[in-house]
């Protein structure tokens, strides 16, 4: 079976095996998937600064055109050498059919990295990789206690900052929900404590947000309920706090996916919105329940589908164009807020 256990993944991405040139990274922690894809891309040996050697594709575009990935994979580079193709973003289409031709006949001069969200054991994309002889599936699960200590060491201790065990114990529960968000919180903390040379519990209270439950809900709820004032008050604050625009769009996409599921139950199973919210798993914080209920009633299911497509494309565009990421996020979130405000 062409797959690795979760604890074996870091070893593989540090020294990728050329026997497996088509690689699937998947899991519920999108930040961890992205971080590992970046490390893997660097370790392939492909010149990432050469625009002719590196190609970024949107998963939805690849799934819509089944020959697109194969065409890119078997195109001969203009100046020779190995090439890297990264497929990222989410799609509701069948991506497995676009990947299977590559798995059946993998290129010898290209690496293909496919980034995906959480995949069930029976998911077609995951199954295709696990049954393949030329591809490999790498699971990326949320950070455990050992992994959290590792990134604290990388972002705090290795930056020549001292931190005692009690302070680490206080810090750890605030991390781990998303790898990228956890690193952003730690980098913000390191910058704040740079002059004093140490990290204290007071510093954590002052600086670190709960990265296990990211403080993006004010923006997300403003978008979903059409609250223009709340969006204007919170969007800039959230972006300057360290969260990247593409991750903000992804978190908003996840919320709209939840709204889509709940709206379906409201329409087809005749369950009131308030009951759906109160019974949600994982639980929705009591302070947000009325806002989420309001959002469910505002958005027809077909409009939620369109919003999800828009957010998916926007997150890909923001990641591919980091200099324009904030503008892309702001434009798309504003448009959805305006749409909700008219309902």
Mean pLDDT of 302-319: 93
95 three-class SS: coil
Burial label for 128, CB within 10 Å (0-12, 13-18, 19+), is buried
Is this prediction's pTM over 0.85?
no
**Which of these CATH numbers, 3.40.50.300, 3.30.390.10, 3.40.50.1100, 3.90.650.10, describes 6-139?**
3.40.50.300
- The DSSP code sequence of 105-124 is S--SSEEEEEEE----TT-H
Cβ–Cβ under 8 Å, residues 9 and 20: no
Question: If we measure between CA atoms, which residue out of 137, 86, 138 comes closest to residue 110?
Answer: 86
Beta bridge partners of 85: 55, 112
121 three-class SS: coil
Structure tokens at 327: 């503008």
Q: How far apart are CA 100 and CA 340, in angstroms?
A: 40
Q: How confident is the model at residue 103 (pLDDT cuts 50, 70, 90)?
A: very high
CATH architecture of the domain with range 145-207: Orthogonal Bundle (1.10)
CATH architecture of the domain with range 217-341: Up-down Bundle (1.20)
At 336 the pLDDT is: 97
At 70 the pLDDT is: 92
Q: What is the CA radius of gyration of the chain?
A: 21
Q: How confident is the model at residue 325 (pLDDT cuts 50, 70, 90)?
A: very high
Q: What is the pLDDT of residues 204-233, one digit of tens each?
A: 877 776 554 445 888 999 999 999 999 988
At 169 the pLDDT is: 86
In the chain, where the domains are located: 6-139, 145-207, 217-341
Structure tokens at 39: 């490390």
Mean pLDDT of 89-97: 88
Cβ–Cβ under 8 Å, residues 160 and 129: no
Res. 254: pLDDT tops 60: yes
- The DSSP code sequence of 275-286 is HHHHT-SSPPPG
């Amino acid at each position: 079976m062409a797959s690795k256990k979760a604890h074996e993944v870091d070893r593989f991405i540090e020294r990728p095996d050329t026997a497996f040139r088509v690689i699937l990274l998947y899991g519920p922690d999108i930040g961890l998937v992205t971080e590992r894809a970046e490390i893997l891309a660097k370790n392939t040996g492909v010149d990432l600064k050469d625009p002719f050697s590196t190609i970024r594709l949107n998963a939805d575009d690849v799934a819509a055109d089944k020959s697109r990935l194969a065409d890119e994979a078997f195109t001969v580079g203009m100046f020779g050498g190995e090439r890297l193709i990264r497929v990222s973003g989410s799609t509701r289409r069948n991506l497995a059919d676009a990947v299977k031709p590559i798995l059946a006949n993998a290129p010898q001069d290209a690496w293909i990295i496919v980034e995906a969200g959480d995949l069930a054991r029976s998911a077609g994309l995951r199954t295709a990789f696990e049954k393949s002889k030329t591809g490999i599936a790498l699971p990326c699960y949320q950070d455990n206690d050992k992994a959290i200590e590792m990134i604290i060491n990388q972002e705090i201790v290795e930056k020549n900052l001292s931190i005692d065990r009690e302070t680490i114990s206080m810090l750890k529960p605030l991390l781990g929900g998303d790898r990228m968000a956890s690193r952003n919180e730690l980098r913000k903390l390191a910058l704040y404590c740079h002059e004093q040379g140490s990290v204290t519990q007071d510093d954590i209270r002052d600086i670190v947000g709960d990265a296990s439950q990211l403080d993006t809900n004010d923006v997300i709820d403003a978008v979903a309920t059409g609250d223009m004032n709340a969006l204007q008050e919170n969007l800039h604050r959230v972006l300057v706090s360290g969260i990247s625009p593409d991750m903000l769009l992804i978190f908003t996409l996840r919320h709209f996916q939840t709204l889509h599921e709940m709206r379906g139950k409201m329409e087809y199973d005749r369950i009131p919105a308030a009951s759906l919210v109160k019974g949600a798993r994982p639980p929705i914080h009591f302070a947000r329940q009325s806002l989420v209920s309001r959002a469910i009633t505002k958005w027809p299911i077909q409009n939620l589908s369109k919003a999800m497509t828009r957010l998916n494309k926007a997150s890909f565009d923001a990641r591919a164009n980091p200099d324009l990421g904030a503008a892309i996020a702001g434009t798309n979130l504003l448009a959805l807020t305006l749409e909700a405000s008219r309902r």
